[in-house]
């Protein structure tokens, strides 16, 4: 089987993925699987999706040659895929539009979502407003506190934001709570899952909706540089922006695919969110993948300056690509990500999301090892307006 | 025949229904679980469902979630749950014990290793909430080979076409979740459950237990009229949570005895 043919009909990427949920959700997931299968083979559905991406999101997003950054980093030429320029400021909207169109097709009037940094929550609230649906967003209480601008955005868009105070009060607990809501309201409610994770068919359908990123790059890079890049770099939390840009590049053997996890205070410190770099396979949130867990199989708390990467699991396709050797995964620590954040602000006039800053930080390490005529494509998955409070705080500045 | 099968056969011969209380191992304290298990039996439990604590209990409501958090704070993991079961077995060799929990702790131990250790400890059945039959290849068989009954859930959203598939993978009994939602939800419509159970029984010869929404003698009686077993979780865990220190075992015993009277009232009238 080719790497691009996955998952199989039951949602497996080799040993990863699958459907590990309670019986109560099995019928809903089957309904979603069947409906998505119809939708993706329905030219009218795909045409509407593409229309919305063009006219509502503003796609295609540009690819930009970051010349001053490349010069500073000294080596390969760095290009940025500008997902930060999308409506709502991140790649998340690609997926929420796709899922909202599916929800409408299935006659569901209520949508729910989980969110970490708040980007997916904002993107969900946005499409709920756009298509006239009720929207409830679950968000860890700790994230509500550190991402207050996005919480207010969601409220402005008409969504209800529910702070989740169980467990570690972050993304994983918000996901637990969203699943509980879905179990309870399964007939009226569509769960807009924010990343390429969760039970089948979510990892597949989120990937498919996000693949527009990589497909555009396949056209844009030759237009701009005459060829495809030598390496593609993307940050990996759940991994939707990464799989979106990686997947179309999988058949291009000459293109290195590098996923960047959150190293937090450093892998050795144990305070990080890097399951592919330092975890082991297990089952959480409906799928099998690399996880951060202790010796009893309990999920351990994660640490990252970036709320969007603060998740103990990772989308199953990344686990598969790691084992297959087609993608490499590295970790970037908080301080390295913050340095890259400032680099991009000052050298290119772009305030990147802290998530995306992890990808830029790895480009900073990789570029000097490559020749000046080599090309690194970084997925700049989101803009950093939401992070200015966090950056001020870690810099000791009161706004 | 497994200890679970023997229990149901014996109850049937006496025209009685089974009462299956649930507690989370390690809640409220590591040393409390075995005394609580014995108290459950003394108060009339036929089978004990012992919850294995997990950090992310996705299918549970706030009551059992908090029990899991308390147990984890007491550093209770899957190995401790097996130790507790073995301790219980020193003085009780007849009451079946079913472990109920999530896949990851079992997966992390390894299905084969777990199955052997569980059997040796005296466990009779295992319900891994987030392993549906579709993912149970290599799990159910391993459990069955070790002499453990794999327990599976059915729910109001399960289509008739799936019941046979679930029944084929299952052993011991079928656990019918009577409500949509997480554990501890309210409002139980016994008429709707009765209709669904009639459909289930057309495809499945295993005894059927019903859980979710049972909180007192009256609801226990209503469910005992239509099911082979009555499963009570959140109500008991709530009692453990709210009992003053030192009174936990007695409070639980009192509650389970009340539930027992409800269950038995159903068979007297039948």
What is the spatial distance between Cα A327 and Cα A256, in angstroms, rounded to a whole number? 7
Q: Name the residue in chain B with its Cα closest to that of A295.
A: B108
pLDDT classification of B182: cutoffs 50, 70, 90: low
Enumerate the residues of chain B whose CB falls inside 8 A of the CB of residue A25. 157
Give the chain A residue whose CA is nearest to the CA of B79.
A296
Task: Give pLDDT tens digits for B95-133.
Answer: 999 999 999 999 999 999 999 999 999 999 999 999 999
Residue with tokens 């679950």: A138
Mean pLDDT, residues A243-263: 98
Beta strands in A252-336 (DSSP E): 256-264, 280-284, 287-291, 327-333
Q: Quick one: average pLDDT of A7-24?
A: 96
Nearest Cβ partner of A283 from B59, B107, B109?
B107
β partners of residue B50: B23, B99
What distance lies between CA A306 and its chain's CA centroid?
Answer: 12
Q: Which of B69, B104, B156 faces A284 most closely, judged by CB atoms?
A: B104
Average pLDDT of the segment spanning B142-166: 94
A66-123 confidence digits (pLDDT tens): 999 999 999 999 999 999 999 999 999 999 999 999 999 999 999 999 998 788 999 9
Which residues from chain B sit within 8 angstroms of residue A285, using beta carbons? 56, 58
Per-residue pLDDT band at A186 (split at 50, 70, 90): confident
* Residue B185 confidence (pLDDT) above 80: no
Instruction: Give mean pLDDT, residues B168-189.
Output: 79
pLDDT tens digit sequence for A190-222: 999 999 999 999 999 999 999 999 999 999 999
Q: What CA–CA distance (Å, rounded) separates A29 from A178? A: 15
C-alpha to C-alpha distance for A119 and A135, rounded to whole angstroms: 15
The yes-or-no answer on residue A92 being catalytic is: yes
Give me chain A's average pLDDT, please.
Answer: 95
Residue B251: the pLDDT is 97
Nearest CA to A252 among A377, A154, A344? A377
- Residue B186 CB neighbour total at 10 angstroms: 9
pLDDT digits (tens, 9 = 90+) for B32-60: 999 999 999 999 999 999 999 999 998 88
Mean pLDDT of A340-344: 98
- Chain B residue numbers with beta carbons less than 8 Å from the beta carbon of A280 are 108
Is residue B49 flagged as an active site residue?
A: yes
Type and span of the H or E element at B270: none
Residues of B in contact with A284 (CB under 8 A): 56, 104
Mean pLDDT, rounded, for A288-311: 94
Question: By C-alpha distance, which of A251, A299, A301, A296 is closest to A273?
Answer: A301
Q: Can you state the angle between helices A202-210 and A212-225, rounded to 10 degrees?
A: 30
| A381 pLDDT above the threshold of 90 | yes
DSSP string, B191-249: HHHHHHHHHHHHH--S-EEEESS--SHHHHHHHHHH-SEEEE-HHHHHHHHHSPTT-HH
CA distance B179 to chain A (A): 8
Residues 6+ apart with CB under 8 A from B70: B24, B26, B27, B28
CB of A166 less than 8 A from some CB of B? yes
pLDDT at A183 over 90: no
Interatomic CA distance for residues A197 and A319, integer angstroms: 11
Give the closest of A282, A285, A291 to B58, CB-based: A285
Please indicate if any CB of chain B lies within 8 Å of the CB of A285: yes
Distance CA A33, CA A45 (A): 15
Paired strand residues for B175: B153, B209
Torsion sign over Cα B264, B265, B269, B270: negative
> Which tokens go with B204?
């499945």
| CB atoms inside a 10 Å sphere around CB B73 | 11
Give per-residue pLDDT as tens, B53-79: 999 998 888 899 999 999 999 999 999
Do A196 and A243 meet the contact criterion of CB atoms below 8 Å apart?
A: yes
In the prediction, which pLDDT does A4 show? 79
Catalytic option among A172, A319, A381, A386 = A381
Chain B residues inside the 8 Å CB shell of A21? 58-59, 130, 132
3-state secondary structure of A287: strand
Question: Is residue A265 predicted with pLDDT exceeding 60?
Answer: yes
Place B181 in a pLDDT band, splitting at 50, 70 and 90: low
Report which DSSP code applies to B74. T
- Give the per-residue pLDDT at B221: 95
Chain B: nearest CA to A234, how far in angstroms? 28
pLDDT for residue A64 is more than 70? yes
The answer to whether A114 and A139 are in contact (CB under 8 A) is yes
The band of B270, judged by pLDDT with boundaries at 50, 70 and 90, is low
Residues in chain B: 270
Best mutation target among B54, B60, B73, B130 (most A Cβ atoms within 10 Å) is B130
Residue A269 has pLDDT above 90, yes or no: yes
Q: How confident is the model at residue A307 (pLDDT cuts 50, 70, 90)?
A: confident
For residue B58, the chain A residues in CB contact (below 8 A) are 21-22, 176, 179-180, 285-286
pLDDT of residue A277: 98
Burial B199-228 (b: 16+ CB within 10 A, else e): ebeebbebbbbbbbbbbebebbbbbbbbbb
Are B236 and B265 in contact, with CB atoms under 8 Å apart?
Answer: no
Q: What angle do CA A250, A252, A257 make, to 5 degrees?
A: 55
Q: Is this complex's ipTM strictly greater than 0.90?
A: yes
Confidence of residue B245 (pLDDT cuts 50, 70, 90): confident
Residue B64: phi, psi to the nearest 5?
-75, -30
A383 pLDDT higher than 90: yes
Whole-number pLDDT of residue B202? 95
Number of continuous H segments (helices) and E segments (strands) in chain A = 16, 14
Grade residue A187 by pLDDT with cuts at 50, 70 and 90: confident
Q: Does the beta carbon of A361 lie under 8 angstroms from any beta carbon of chain B?
A: no
Contacts of B222 (CB under 8 A, 6+ apart): B188, B190, B266
Half-sphere CA count of B77, side-chain side, radius 13 A: 15
User: In this model, does residue A49 exceed pLDDT 90?
Assistant: yes
Residue A151 is encoded by which pair of tokens?
């919480």
Is A114 catalytic? The answer is yes
In a 3-state reduction of DSSP, which class is residue B181? coil
Name the residue in chain B with its Cα closest to that of A301.
B55
**Which of B56, B130, B134 lies closest to A10 in CB terms?**
B134
User: CA-to-CA distance for A272 and B197, rounded, in angstroms?
Assistant: 48
């Amino acid at each position: 089987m080719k790497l691009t043919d996955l998952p199989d009909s039951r949602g497996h990427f080799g040993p990863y993925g699958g459907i590990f949920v309670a019986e109560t959700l099995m019928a809903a997931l089957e309904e979603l699987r069947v409906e998505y299968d119809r939708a993706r083979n329905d030219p009218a559905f795909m045409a509407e999706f593409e229309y919305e991406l063009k006219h509502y999101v503003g796609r295609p997003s540009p690819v930009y040659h970051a010349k001053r950054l490349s010069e500073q980093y000294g080596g390969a030429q760095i290009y940025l895929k500008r997902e930060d320029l999308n409506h709502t400021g991140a790649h998340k909207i690609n997926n929420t539009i796709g899922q909202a169109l599916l929800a409408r097709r299935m006659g569901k009037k209520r949508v729910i979502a989980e969110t970490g940094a708040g980007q997916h929550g904002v993107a969900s609230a946005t499409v709920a407003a756009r298509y006239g649906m009720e929207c409830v967003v679950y968000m860890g209480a700790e994230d509500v506190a550190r991402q207050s601008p996005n919480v207010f955005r969601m409220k402005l868009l008409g969504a209800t934001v529910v702070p989740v105070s169980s467990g570690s009060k972050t993304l994983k607990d918000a996901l637990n709570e969203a699943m509980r809501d879905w179990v309870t309201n399964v007939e009226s409610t569509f769960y807009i899952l924010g990343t390429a994770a969760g039970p089948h068919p979510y990892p597949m359908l989120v990937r498919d909706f996000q693949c527009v990123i990589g497909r555009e790059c396949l056209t844009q890079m030759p237009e701009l540089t005459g060829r495809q890049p030598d390496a593609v770099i993307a940050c990996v939390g759940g991994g939707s922006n990464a799989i979106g840009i990686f997947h179309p590049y999988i058949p291009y053997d000459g293109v290195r695919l590098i996923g960047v996890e959150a190293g937090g205070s450093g892998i050795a410190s144990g305070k990080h969110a890097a399951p592919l770099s330092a975890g082991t396979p297990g089952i959480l949130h409906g799928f099998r993948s690399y996880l951060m867990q202790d010796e009893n199989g309990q999920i351990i708390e994660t640490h990252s300056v970036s709320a969007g990467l603060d998740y103990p699991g990772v989308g199953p396709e990344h686990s598969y690509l790691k084992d297959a050797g087609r993608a490499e995964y590295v970790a970037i620590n908080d301080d390295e990500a913050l340095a890259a954040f400032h680099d991009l602000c000052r050298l290119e006039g772009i305030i990147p999301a802290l998530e995306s800053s992890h990808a830029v930080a790895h480009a900073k390490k990789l570029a000097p090892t490559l020749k000046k005529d080599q090309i690194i494509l970084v997925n700049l998955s989101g803009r950093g307006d939401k992070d200015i409070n966090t950056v001020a705080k870690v810099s000791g500045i009161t706004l | 025949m497994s200890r679970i099968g023997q229990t149901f056969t014996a109850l049937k011969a006496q025209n009685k229904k089974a009462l299956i209380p649930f507690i989370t191992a390690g809640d409220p304290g590591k040393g409390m679980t075995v005394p609580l298990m014995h108290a459950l039996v003394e108060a009339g439990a036929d089978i004990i469902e012992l919850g294995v604590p997990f950090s992310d209990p996705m299918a549970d409501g706030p009551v059992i979630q908090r029990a899991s958090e308390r147990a984890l704070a007491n550093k209770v993991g899957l190995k401790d749950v097996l130790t507790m079961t073995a301790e219980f077995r020193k003085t009780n060799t007849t009451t079946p014990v079913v472990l109920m929990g999530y896949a990851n702790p079992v997966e992390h131990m390894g299905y084969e290793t777990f199955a052997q250790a569980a059997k040796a400890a005296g466990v009779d059945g295992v319900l891994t909430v987030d392993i549906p039959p579709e993912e149970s290849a290599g799990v159910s068989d391993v459990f069955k080979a070790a002499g453990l009954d794999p327990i599976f859930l059915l729910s109001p959203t399960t289509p008739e076409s799936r019941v046979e598939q679930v029944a084929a993978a299952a052993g011991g009994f079928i656990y019918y979740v009577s409500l949509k939602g997480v554990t501890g939800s309210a409002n139980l419509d016994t008429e709707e459950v009765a209709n669904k159970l009639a459909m289930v029984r057309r495809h499945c010869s295993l005894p059927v237990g019903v859980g979710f929404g049972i909180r007192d003698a009256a609801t226990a009686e209503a469910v005992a009229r239509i099911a082979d077993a009555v499963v009570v979780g959140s109500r008991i865990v709530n009692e453990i949570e709210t009992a003053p220190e030192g009174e936990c075992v007695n409070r639980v015993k009192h509650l389970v005895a009340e539930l027992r009277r409800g269950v038995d009232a159903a068979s007297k009238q039948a």
